[in-house]
Amino acid sequence: MAKAHCTAPPGGNHTATFASFLSSFAASARAEEEEGSATLLLYKKLTPAEGPYGIGKPINITLQVWNKGPGNAYSVVVKDENWKQDKFKTLYSNNTFTLDFLNTGEQYTHTFTVTPVKKILAHRVKPAVMEFVDGVEGEATIKHYSNGWPEIQAVDPGDSLADYVLMFGRLLTFNMIKTKKGWMYAGGALAAILIVQLFFIVKAMMARRRHMKALTELSKEA
């Protein structure tokens, strides 16, 4: 017997239209109608949708579950274990919730709030996980995932322009140069290379001038 499906937005990109998301989900639901299985959708979104996010500033995470039917779902458990305490603090509600049942045609929305507690260069926002029991499938637990989200950054609102430039530089160097002192060393090395190159360029130009001068004198003697 076919298992229930949960459809996520194409590519896991938050810029994908919600209409196309529901359209693909509806197609999955039609494929299951003859079996009578529950067809669940789990959608995850962040508000604000784009960063960078500030330390101490709230980020709202919304998890929405739909049951397109035609069957009912039981023991629905959703977890979003993407917000570890070493990086984020939970301000409101929890990152997990449980529903005893979700009947066909019903939906449920859960929102919780976190805030970054330190600077974060790049944090991967992984999909939330959903498990449920399909009435048609018996006691077997079915697991599905939500859509993903692009990487996010957390910055200190009090940082200067130099700090933002430093963070951008860390991205460009694949995190090889992390500090201002490191950039000073790198800048010194680059300056030394440029001076050496300039020396050879000037030397080549002077040699060319001497060569041209010698040719001019020979042509006069001829």
> Tell me, what CATH number does 41's domain have?
2.60.40.10
The pLDDT confidence band at residue 145, using thresholds 50, 70 and 90, is very high
This model's pTM is above 0.95: no
Q: How far apart are CA 60 and CA 132, in angstroms?
A: 24
Q: Is residue 183 part of a domain?
A: no
Query: What string of H, E and C letters represents the secondary structure of 107-172?
Result: EEEEEEEEEECCCEEEEEECCCEEEEEECCCCCCEEEEECCCEEEEEEECCCCCHHHHHHHHHHHH
First-residue to last-residue Cα distance in the chain: 102
**pLDDT surpassing 80 at residue 10:** no
Q: Is residue 123 part of a domain?
A: yes
pLDDT digits (tens, 9 = 90+) for 58-115: 999 999 999 998 889 999 999 999 999 999 999 988 999 999 999 999 999 999 999 9
pLDDT on residue 58: 94
Total domains in the chain come to 1
Q: Is residue 108 part of a domain?
A: yes
**pLDDT surpassing 80 at residue 217:** no
Helix (H) / strand (E) element for 61: namely strand 59-67
